[in-house]
Structure 1
């Protein structure tokens, strides 16, 4: 699927004629016809009725996604049109797995396609690198959770989600369908190193509900989500996460159980406030556009059970 094919498709939909669509795109009518025919062959469905011009059900479903893809590509292009690409440094993107759920790979793929001349390096981040990877200039942008409270950083919210516990399936609460904060505050959570910032420890341990009391900690210390999952599956401690983790991780011996009265939390794209390079602006613009237009749809398509992620009430 190519952007020019989507542009031809939308032009015909909006103009109602192949000739007017071709004039608008400065193409010949046969070229526009060829774009749409190739798009239909690639998708394996008919998108337009020809006489008269009308959308098929498949075409109606494609229209909003085509507009989003073109808008995202245009936003990225507009933000970097003044760049010289012969001496660009790589754009380094950190991901505290899994980033912003299904949006993370979509955003990375879209940027590579929209700006193939800009080198892109993706690096994994541990919990302790929640803000330091950016402030120490090891990465230029970072998919992290929860929202940092560092005034040196710009923050673009990509998802706002309910909270879940990561529990041993064989544990005393592992068979619950839902829990409340009062049910979980006395459980033993995974430990975190002293290098992990306070905003992350408060997020993991539901600090706002503890009235200053410290959490019980298990014997394991976690540096990444993989460590949390391993500890929980072994029945040694529990963890906490965003709701989207229940779609993305399927480990033996664990369950994700909603905490129905816990405050919702956010996954974000963070960057340095003083980094005004066009390629950083382009990545942020692309990410926020895709999060706004595709986020709920991606969550819905991947949902195995439970509610679709909605904006925080």
Structure 2
């Protein structure tokens, strides 16, 4: 797909007028009109209503993809410009990707694989994050991007929401709540569950997420810093865990039962980066991940 066509399409959408879009792009109005027609021909449907200009349903769907593709292309060009300017750089710094738990479900491996295809010359290092590294892995510069949950509340970090899912609790098969695996429970039903404890330096947003915004430390005396530690404690009857619905697809442990929490607010997973990070590889990875989230989101948020 010719990126010039996407650029003209977005200019018309944002200006609401073919003539103003042409002036912004330093093109003639007929050229912009031809670009939009060619794009509509390529995708096989009308994208814009004319007189007045407005998006069709197909056009509205394409807008997010177009912005993500152009952002990724711009980031790639910026990266190449820096590479040309720094001819003495022989060692390519790897992109360090932090993943808390299963990250953003199917989006996590999709984004990493898309980046590897787009940037085959850049090594990718994966690092598993524990529950205390909600923001510290980025702030301490041990990773460049991080798949975490929930949305961080820290001005040093910028984050994009990728998935929004129903909450679940994880209980042992012997728990009375296990019978509600199909029907679900309410927050009041899990008020007395002995959820795992977290170290005192765990960021507050993650602690609130784990405890469903309950400030009280839970009754369990056991600590857990990873999903594997949570599940080991659950199946041995020591404590309960909580997470997002997709957790069950990635951690199908025998003896662990996943129960939907019907009235808990849905929670998000996100991709976090350091605020104002100038690393062009971070920009490329972020743009590709956002574009994939727009494309695959309906499959994950289920």
TM-score (norm 1): 0.70
**2:12 matched residue in structure 1:** none
Residue 72 of structure 1 deviates from its aligned partner by 6.4
Cα distance in structure 1, aligned partners of 2:231 and 2:160: 27
Kept in 2, the 8 Å contact 1:146–1:199? The answer is yes
**1:82 matched residue in structure 2:** 78
Partner deviation per Cα, 1:35-75 (whole Å, 9 max, x = no partner): xxxxxxxxxxxxxxxxxxxxxxxxxxxxx9xx96x996765
**1:275 matched residue in structure 2:** 277
Aligned residues: 237
**1:264 matched residue in structure 2:** 266
Distance change (3 Å), C-alpha of 1:247 and 1:104: same
SS at match of 1:190: coil
Q: CA RMSD in A?
A: 2.5
**1:149 matched residue in structure 2:** 153
SS at match of 1:146: coil
Kept in 1, the 8 Å contact 2:235–2:255? The answer is yes
SS at match of 1:221: coil
What pairs with 1:103-142 in structure 2 (closer than 5 Å)? Answer: 103-142=107-146
What pairs with 1:24-173 in structure 2 (closer than 5 Å)? Answer: 75-83=71-79, 84=83, 86-173=90-177
TM-score (norm 2): 0.72
Residue 14 of structure 1 deviates from its aligned partner by 4.1
Residue 261 of structure 1 deviates from its aligned partner by 0.5
Residue 198 (structure 1) aligned with residue 204 (structure 2)? yes
Cα distance in structure 2, aligned partners of 1:115 and 1:219: 46
Q: Which runs of 5+ in 1 are unaligned?
A: 1-10, 17-63, 300-307
Structure 1 residues 128-137 or 218-227, which shifts more?
Answer: 218-227
**2:185 matched residue in structure 1:** 179
Structure 1 residues 98-107 or 166-175, which shifts more?
Answer: 166-175
Kept in 2, the 8 Å contact 1:76–1:115? The answer is no
Kept in 1, the 8 Å contact 2:130–2:226? The answer is yes
SS at match of 2:101: coil
Residue 82 of structure 1 deviates from its aligned partner by 3.1
Kept in 1, the 8 Å contact 2:69–2:291? The answer is no
Residue 88 of structure 1 deviates from its aligned partner by 3.0
Residue 248 of structure 1 deviates from its aligned partner by 1.8
Cα distance in structure 2, aligned partners of 1:118 and 1:216: 44
Cα distance in structure 1, aligned partners of 2:74 and 2:220: 50
Structure 1 residues 83-92 or 94-103, which shifts more?
Answer: 83-92
SS at match of 1:256: strand
Matching residue within 286, 289, 292 for 2:291: 289
SS at match of 2:282: helix
SS at match of 2:192: coil
Residue 264 of structure 1 deviates from its aligned partner by 1.1
